[in-house]
């Protein structure tokens, strides 16, 4: 009797251990990344069309994106030192990094999940950009769509943006749509702390793992001016986000608009990796009339 009881206890414990092991491995072995659960999506606004998916990324995925960006930041700081370009990086205050598409299985999994959620093909997406905002840092109101020829040469217009929050932010750092139209039904006032900036429109509070999807174009393909948005200043804490911009056409198509596709500075590739194509557009890309120095690395030709 006693022996039998000990035996069944052993089995019980073994089963327990096996199920714990199985559960912790499951997230690595299977690809829950491509499973999308529509009930986790909340509508933020119809003008612009904006939605939040709660818990879109796992902790592992958030940490992975942050660590990829951190190592890239470190690598470029060292490269700057070696090449004696440290002066430039001071100007840059570089906090943005592009992570090449499908860089590893985790990144590819996130990209699969984005395309499953948005119903937009993977090849229409740009590389994921990871941004870090520290105290006081913000992103002034802007549109994600471009209207100039150079910027829509590759993949056409940006149709949608998926903004993923990788950290919780204690105060501030909300994404706000200042021109969004309030839904007709009055919303209950949010219990969460919202910064003054966030009160100027419809705001989304950054929460680790959540993803915000909004469209920059109407279904008619006309740019939606309600899609104006801003990143509110971070008041307390640190904000890490990852952005995927999605175009109406394949972003992998290189449309050559000038004939010659060259970089005019040996540092172009590195600058492009640091996000200069976006931050320093005039120098890097320029305009059709006055082309920039790094059009090849910025992949606009
Ligand atoms: C750059 O090099 C100098 C010395 O050559 C060193 O003191 C400094 O810490 C280096 N900076 C970085 C970011 O590696
Ligand atoms: C982030 O905040 C949410 C509540 O808004 C909480 O459930 C979650 O545990 C927090 N995550 C971390 C890593 O602090
Ligand atoms: C391409 O570059 C060559 C040499 O730099 C130049 O002669 C030619 O005019 C350029 N072509 C175009 C279309 O800009
Ligand atoms: C590349 O840019 C750096 C920094 O602006 C500059 O010092 C260097 O002369 C440039 N090289 C060429 C070939 O223009």
Number of domains in the chain: 3
> pLDDT for 206-217, tens place per residue?
999 999 999 999
Do 6 and 127 lie in a common domain? no
> What is the number of the ligand closest to the CA of 88?
4
Evaluate the omega torsion of the peptide bond into residue 88 and state whether it is cis, within 30 degrees of 0. no
Do 197 and 276 lie in a common domain? no
The C-alpha atoms of residue 208 and residue 134 are separated, in whole angstroms, by 16
Counting from 1 in the atom list of ligand 4, the atom nearest the Cα of 267 is 1
Nearest CA to ligand 4 atom 13: 265
The C-alpha atoms of residue 44 and residue 51 are separated, in whole angstroms, by 5
pTM recorded for the entire structure:
0.68
The token duo for 276 is 């200069």
Residue 79: give its domain's CATH number: 2.60.120.620
Q: What is the CA radius of gyration of the chain?
A: 22
Do 154 and 281 lie in a common domain? no
> Using a 6 Å cutoff on CB, does residue 260 contact ligand 3?
yes
> Using a 6 Å cutoff on CB, does residue 89 contact ligand 4?
no
Do 226 and 295 lie in a common domain? no
pLDDT for 113 equals 97
> What is the number of the ligand closest to the CA of 257?
3
Domain that holds residue 9: 1-29
Q: In the predicted model, is pLDDT for residue 300 greater than 70?
A: yes
pLDDT for 60 equals 97
Q: In the predicted model, is pLDDT for residue 68 greater than 90?
A: yes
Do 292 and 217 lie in a common domain? no
Tell me how many degrees the CA angle 148-152-153 measures, rounded to the nearest 5: 110
Q: In the predicted model, is pLDDT for residue 92 greater than 50?
A: no
CA 265 / ligand 4 centre spacing (Å): 6
> pLDDT for 130-148, tens place per residue?
988 888 888 888 898 887 7
**Strands 175-177 vs 202-204: parallel, antiparallel or unpaired:** antiparallel
Question: Bigger pLDDT: 125 or 78?
Answer: 125
The C-alpha atoms of residue 35 and residue 53 are separated, in whole angstroms, by 13
Do 193 and 148 lie in a common domain? yes
> pLDDT for 167-212, tens place per residue?
999 999 999 999 998 765 555 555 568 999 999 999 999 999 999 9
State the sign of the Cα–Cα–Cα–Cα dihedral 251, 162, 143, 282: negative
Strand residue runs (E) in the chain: 41-45, 50-53, 96-99, 128-133, 139-142, 158-165, 171-172, 175-177, 202-204, 211-215, 229-231, 234-236, 239-247
Do 99 and 175 lie in a common domain? yes
Give 82's pLDDT tier (boundaries 50, 70, 90): low
Do 147 and 197 lie in a common domain? yes
Do 10 and 44 lie in a common domain? no
Nearest CA to ligand 1 atom 6: 81
> Using a 6 Å cutoff on CB, does residue 265 contact ligand 4?
yes
Strand residue runs (E) in 126-183: 128-133, 139-142, 158-165, 171-172, 175-177
pLDDT for 15 equals 56
> Using a 6 Å cutoff on CB, does residue 90 contact ligand 1?
no
Do 149 and 262 lie in a common domain? no
Nearest CA to ligand 1 atom 7: 81
pLDDT for 156 equals 86
Mutational test site, ligand 3, from 256, 257, 258, 259, max ligand atoms within 8 Å of CB: 259
Do 174 and 281 lie in a common domain? no
Q: Which of 245, 264, 284 is the last residue of a domain?
A: 245
Counting from 1 in the atom list of ligand 2, the atom nearest the Cα of 168 is 1
Do 117 and 179 lie in a common domain? yes
Q: In the predicted model, what is the mean pLDDT of the chain?
A: 81
Q: Which of 61, 237, 205 is nearest to 133 (CA)?
A: 237
Q: Is 23 exposed, middle or buried (0-12, 13-18, 19+ CB in 10 A)?
A: exposed
């Amino acid at each position: 009797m006693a022996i039998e009881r000990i035996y069944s206890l052993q089995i019980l414990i073994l089963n327990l251990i096996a199920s714990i092991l199985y559960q912790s491995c499951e997230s690595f072995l299977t690809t829950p990344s491509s499973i999308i659960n529509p009930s986790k999506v909340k509508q933020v606004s119809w003008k612009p069309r904006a939605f939040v998916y709660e818990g879109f990324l796992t902790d592992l995925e958030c940490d992975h994106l942050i660590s990829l960006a951190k190592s890239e930041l470190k690598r470029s700081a060292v490269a700057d030192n070696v090449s004696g370009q440290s002066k430039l990086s001071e100007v840059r205050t570089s906090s943005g990094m592009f992570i090449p598409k499908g860089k590893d299985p985790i990144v590819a999994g996130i990209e699969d999940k984005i395309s499953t959620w948005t119903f937009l093909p993977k090849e229409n997406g740009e590389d994921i950009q990871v941004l870090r905002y520290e105290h006081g840092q913000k992103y002034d109101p802007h549109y994600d769509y471009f209207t100039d020829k150079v910027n829509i040469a590759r993949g056409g217009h940006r149709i949608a943006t998926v903004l993923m929050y990788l950290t919780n932010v204690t105060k501030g750092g909300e994404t706000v749509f200042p021109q969004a139209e309030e839904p007709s039904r009055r919303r209950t006032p949010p219990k969460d702390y919202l910064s003054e900036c966030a009160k100027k429109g419809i705001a989304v509070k950054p929460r680790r793992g959540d993803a915000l999807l909004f469209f920059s174009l109407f279904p008619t393909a006309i740019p939606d001016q309600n899609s104006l948005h801003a990143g509110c200043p971070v008041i307390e804490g640190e904000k890490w986000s990852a952005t995927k911009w999605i175009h109406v056409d394949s972003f992998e198509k290189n449309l050559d608009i000038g004939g010659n596709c060259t970089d005019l500075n040996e540092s172009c590739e590195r600058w492009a990796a640091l996000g200069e194509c976006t931050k320093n557009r005039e120098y890097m890309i320029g305009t059709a009339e006055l082309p920039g120095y790094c059009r090849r690395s910025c992949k606009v030709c």
